Amino acid sequence: MASAVGASNSSCSDSKSNLAIGSYKSNPVAVPADESIPAVGSCNDIDTNRAPCSGGSRRSQPGNEVDPEDLEAWWERISIASSNRFEKELVIGRGTYGVVFKVKDKMNDNNYVALKYARNHSETFFGVTSSTIREVSLLKNLKHNNIVKLKDEYVDEYGTTLVLEYLETSLRKFIEVRYAKKSSGLFPPSELLISESLLKSFMYQIMSGLAYMHSKGVMHRDLKPDNVLLNRRGELKICDFGFSRKLEPGRRIYTQNVATLPYRAPEVILSDGRYSVEVDLWSCGCIMAELARGKIIFLQTLFPGKLVKDQSAIATLFQMCKWIGPPEDDFLQDMTEPDPRPLLPRGRCRKLKEFEGPNFQNAKDFLFNGLLVYNPAKRLTAAGALNHPFLKREDFGVFK
């Protein structure tokens, strides 16, 4: 029998948020008729917390890695617990926190699902990791077309297995495949990595899921292409809620160093943990720029810093300045860290050539004046982003 996990965790409780509660339900957005999702194979369908560059959000828990013998024992246990419900296909993800399998679900017409297995850890509450408790608690309460569905869960003394909706690939792999085609000269280097209509469709879907989450008082805190899943119909779903959390009324300070470093908002870098849902909008801006340029996180993202072991958050801030200029004074005066301006570059910032020209005015305004804005108070909200001229629904092409 499936068991519920960690609903008592206080950080994930369903207490009322200080955000207005609303309903943001969207129909799935179909891929425009002139563009299709390329086949990408069996790749990283569910993010399993691959180690980010130094300073990333994932904190390793020694002894939590899963070895082959553990996997064999786990498969025997899950087969017994589920009455041989699943037929194992292949591993589609592996990381510090566990392993993800693509399996057939015999209870649901042999449709594919993803099994995400995480070992328990002796130093945590009843052995279940805090990230697993948060993920299960939140996914049980977040129901939206653009958020991955939790179908079931199995818990025993050794670990936790989540039964998740299966999608063919991740936005990370999609970008990698498209960039490989662009680098081989299949289309001009000055063009966007994807069509403008598909870029709008992708961003609209991410914002729809995010607006719903924020209306429920939940911030994701680790948005990146790895944590956005994609199917062959062009539908996107946000996944990996291990570092998400509910906002608490009256609380202003949260865990520092959340979000993988190249997607980390400047207020997280420069403050003592004073941030809110706006950090997700900054991450969305990084994803949008990456979709346009094709530079992936471990090679060269929009704000890569120096991808070395001693990479610092200030190095990432340095890269931000090179692209969008230095932070404004009204933003820096609210930060608690020492003034970083003496360390930061001055002069003209670089431009994204992919957004040059009169046809991209709305896209540039959406990205640089709405999302990649240092001061979180001046950033678009997710609900506000859905009403921006760049995301007009009639510009997307075919809808379902």
Instruction: Name the residues annotated as catalytic.
Output: 222
**Please, which residues have CB within 8 angstroms of residue 308's CB and are 6 or more apart in sequence?**
54
Nearest to 271 by CA among 263, 283, 279: 279
Three-state DSSP string of 211-266: HHHHHCCEECCCCCHHHEEECCCCCEEECCCCCCEECCCCCCECCCCCCCHHHCCH
Unique residue bearing structure tokens 């339900």: 25
167 neighbors 231 (Cβ within 8 angstroms): yes
Q: Report CA-CA distances (Å) from 64 to 35, 60, 123, 276, 309.
A: 42, 8, 11, 30, 22
Q: Is the dihedral of CA 174, 176, 179, 185 positive or negative?
A: negative
Q: Report CA-CA distances (Å) from 122 to 65, 67, 158.
A: 13, 17, 10
153 neighbors 161 (Cβ within 8 angstroms): yes
390 neighbors 304 (Cβ within 8 angstroms): no
Residue type, 198: L
Q: Quote the tokens at residue 272.
A: 């003592």
**Please, which residues have CB within 8 angstroms of residue 120's CB and are 6 or more apart in sequence?**
126, 127, 128, 129, 157, 158, 159, 160
